[in-house]
Amino acid sequence: MTRTDIELNNNTSNTIEVIEQVTEQVEEEIIDNYTYFFTLFINLLCIVGSLYGFLFSLALMGDSFKVLGGRTAGELFKNIDNPISGLMVGILTTVLVQSSSTSTSVIVGMVGADIITVQTAIPLIMGANIGTSVTNSIVSMGQIQNKDQRQLAFSGAVVHDFFNILCVIIFLPIECITHMLYYWTVFLTKHIKGSSAGTFKSPLKIIVSPLTKLIIEVDKKKINKISEGEINSGDVDTLIKGGITQDMDDQLAGGICLGGSLILLCIFLYGLVTFLKRVLLDVGENSIRYSLQFSETWWGGYLNILVGVLITISVQSSSVTTSALTPLVGLGIISLEQMYPITLGANIGTTFTGLLAALVTGKVNALQIALCHFSFNTFGVMLLYPFEYTRNIPINMAKFYGKLARSFKWFPFLHIIFTFIVCPLLFLGISMLFELNVTGIVFGTIICMGIIGGLGKLSYWYYYEEGEDWLMLELDKEIDE
């Protein structure tokens, strides 16, 4: 064999090896692409399934409320007619379920079932807005060991708290005096087709109605006649006219369906958020990175608000959006000022779940309370964000709390327990005392005077005694260390 033949054979072998390597790489890429698209397809199926399950559980919950409250509509929740008690119940309920989407969906369902009125539900919605921000504070605890990270992360967590609390302080008294949100949403919904009958044709209700009727079918004509006083509730044997629960007692069937619907609601909402996060969160993170580069411009903050809205609508959870940003603030990757407008956008985006729930009920009053939630969050952003002075109030308070968290390791725990558990329970108890009798009013007044006196003493100590100097000394000592 000549030298030329040997070189030719070697070149041929090398070419074959290269072709085999390229072929293997192409096959691996094809397999990876197939795997990616198969995984994406499965995730999309899970999203559709979770969404349908979520809508079904909302419809089942609404029918359960109608059966349970059809005979005594409004009496089941008469203790929350007081705006303060409604606000506190909204906070506690949302803290308990760790999701404003869940609590607002339940509230919308109760309004749609005529268990509570729109005006009664508005403080509940405001309370849910405050309660949902507890998740950020809990997430910030993951960086509690490092002082610098603890300060930044806790500041990022509580800026959401202060914005929502400030909105409630402003809008709750206005709503109690003028019913602004109520009349605004009456105006928005009065032109909806079929609204004269209190309902509208909802495509979502048409989709889930056949399945709910297999379980429980409510006799709405009887409920309407009871509410209008045409017949007495005692003259009605049952409010259920179909489904597997038809032969059960109304209270038993309603209780079973309500319990089951609440469990399914939490499961399917969790599944929906999880699968949406898998598919869309990377896109959302890229969008955030892109939008943050414009933060220094006058319009960059508004772009970040829009990004927060879109991401939260995509993943169906404001907690996911804001909790994902809190550790980044703690690590110094993004600043508190950059996170703040995204948080405000998440506040608006989370109202989309309530609108979905309202569309399932097909009731105008349910749509009205969902629009109240949207309007409340939107008006809050419009009022506080455009002006530098009001925009900086939550930011400055959050920075101050961050300094306290840096100096006192136990302070974040105290904030969570006091703000989201102790205070709501205390004010709920006081408001219920005022609803009882003369003795309750006396005790309630004494407790209120004690609280006001304590706050006055604390303020006097801070501003006129050694309080401010002592605190500043402690904070400076920590910074020096």
Walk along the chain (481 residues) and give the pLDDT tens digit of each residue. 555 555 545 555 666 665 656 566 655 666 656 676 777 778 778 878 887 887 788 778 777 877 776 555 444 455 577 888 889 888 888 887 667 777 788 888 888 877 788 898 999 999 988 988 887 888 787 777 778 888 888 888 889 889 999 999 999 999 999 999 999 998 888 877 554 445 555 566 677 778 888 888 877 777 666 655 566 666 667 778 888 888 888 778 888 888 888 888 778 877 776 776 676 656 656 667 777 777 777 787 888 898 888 888 876 667 767 777 777 788 777 888 888 998 999 889 888 888 888 887 778 888 899 999 999 999 999 999 998 888 999 999 999 888 888 888 888 889 889 988 888 888 888 888 877 777 777 888 888 888 888 888 877 777 777 766 777 776 666 555 5
Q: How far is CA 30 from CA 20, 33, 35, 43, 209, in A?
A: 15, 5, 8, 20, 43
Q: In this structure, are residues 240 and 127 in contact, taking their beta carbons and an 8 Å threshold?
A: no
Task: Please report, as a single letter, which amino acid is at residue 168.
Answer: V
- Beta bridge partners of residue 240, listed in sequence order: 218
Distance of CA 251 to the CA centre of its chain: 30
Task: Please report, as a single letter, which amino acid is at residue 322.
Answer: T
For residue 223, give the nearest of 71, 62, 68 by alpha carbon.
71
- Beta bridge partners of residue 242, listed in sequence order: 217
pTM of the model: 0.76
What secondary structure letter does DSSP report for 199?
A: B
What secondary structure letter does DSSP report for 195?
A: G
What secondary structure letter does DSSP report for 421?
A: I
Cα–Cα distance for residue pair 14/25, rounded to 1 Å: 16
